[in-house]
Amino acid sequence: MTTIRYAIAGKNGRMGKMLIEAVNAAADATLAAAFDIGDDAEAALAQADCLIDFTRPEGTLKHLDICRRLGVHMVIGTTGFTPEQKQQIAAAAQVIPIVFAPNMAVGVNAVFKLLDVAARILNEGYDIEIIEAHHRHKVDAPSGTALRMGEVVAAALGRDLKECAVYGREGHTGERPATQIGFSTIRGGDIVGDHTVLFAGTGERIEITHKSASRMSYALGSLRAARFLRDKKNGLFDMQDVLGLK
């Protein structure tokens, strides 16, 4: 079993601490470096085979440049990137292997697959709403996971999420168009992450829900992603690739 030397960005954050705990508990892992804002990221990454980054887009992109130069693999769990920033990640993936996913939890990625199947079956006569809840400290909304859920459902139905998504409603909105995909966001307390996709038909409702009780599920999924990258030279992957769901 080949040991992977990990670097963890955001060592003092909630997710950073959980990642460090997961790496220290894994038999095939060594914590080579953990760093935060103001630390020497390049010196830290020079010791690592793979960086796991759940920080902020600006910080992640700085680390991306360093990893690209040093040939360090990346697992990116950061959310809130602009389309242009996502292009920077795709460009770097031509040089180094990257797993970039809005949610690293294995269960959430199983839900993505279930949503694809459900949307294809419930493709007529069902209104679709996505409800997500997170802790008070989360800075982007809707969550990256909720947006990915919307993308999966829209693709299965042959729709463009940019054209059919509605992010909150207020006032006299009129009747709901049949092709709309609605998003509702809740922020409060220490909620780790709850996501529900509601298919509301006539006389019945189908709800597909995932609830995270601990960030450890994200950390364990991240280690699984890093193992998947071990023999890769370059390329952009997501957790569906890691889990063999494509």
- Are 4-104+215-242 and 107-212 the same fold in CATH? no
The Cα–Cα gap between 78 and 226 comes to: 15
Angle between helices 57-70 and 83-92 (to 10 degrees): 20
The predicted model gives 193-198 an average pLDDT of 97
Q: Decide if 224 contacts 103 (C-beta within 8 A).
A: no
CATH code that applies to domain 4-104+215-242: 3.40.50.720
Class of 107-212 in CATH: alpha beta
User: What integer pLDDT is reported at residue 195 of this predicted model?
Assistant: 98
**How does the average pLDDT of the chain come out, rounded?**
96
CA dihedral over 154, 101, 111, 181, signed as positive or negative? negative
Rounded to an integer, the average pLDDT of 178-189 is 97
Q: pLDDT, tens digit, for every residue of 53-107?
A: 999 999 999 999 999 999 999 999 998 899 999 999 999 999 999 999 989 999 9
**DSSP characters over 177-217:** PTT-EEEEEEE-TT--EEEEEEEE-SS-EEEEEEEES-THH
DSSP letter, residue 127: E
Residues serving a catalytic function are 134, 138
Q: How many residues would you count in the chain?
A: 246
Full-model pTM: 0.85
Closest by alpha carbon to 193, among 217, 222, 221, 169?
A: 217
Give me the residue spans of the domains in the chain.
4-104+215-242, 107-212
What pLDDT sits at residue 117? 97
